[in-house]
Amino acid sequence: MGDTIEKRLGELGVVLPVAAAPAANYLPFMRSGNLVFTAGQLPLKDGKLVASGLLGRDVDVATGKEAAKYCAINILAQAKAALGSLEAIGKVVKITVFVASAPDFTEQHLVANGASDFLVAVLGDAGKHARSAVGTASLPLNAPVEIEAIIEVA
């Protein structure tokens, strides 16, 4: 067996969940041409948030990075649902990382590294992407992080 994305996930101890269904009137992903756009993914594990609250008040950077990693895991679950296989990912074009932040918190970029580092660890060069890291007053369900992605199909 070659060095597949699923194998790398296994080596990292990650099992992709079933892609989450939308919680309202939207689609979890949309394909347009050779691009897949994911809806914002929360840091859910086994259907529950891995952390909650604001960075800089309730959540430290290390916990925020771990939450961002779980957002990235859920992005890959959506990509697999959209494409049928993770091997169909050509590259991650861009991620937008929303970080629920206390007013004086300025380390959104460090939180975002949790997702960026994970995507590169799993996808190699195909995981390198453009990125925005944005502080926000709050996120759905009191999540500390939400991430959306644009993925190019191989």
Report which DSSP code applies to 47: T
Q: Can you list the domains of the chain with their CATH numbers?
A: 52-154 (3.30.1330.40)
Whether pLDDT at 98 is above 50: yes
The pLDDT, as a whole number, for residue 1 is 38
Least confident range of 20-24, 58-62, 89-93, 105-109: 20-24
What gap in Å lies between CA 47 and CA 110, rounded to an integer?
25
What gap in Å lies between CA 143 and CA 3, rounded to an integer?
34
What gap in Å lies between CA 92 and CA 45, rounded to an integer?
22
Alpha carbon 42 to chain centroid, angstroms: 7
The pLDDT, as a whole number, for residue 3 is 66
36, 30 Cβ separation under 8 angstroms: yes
What band does 23 get if pLDDT is binned at 50, 70 and 90?
confident
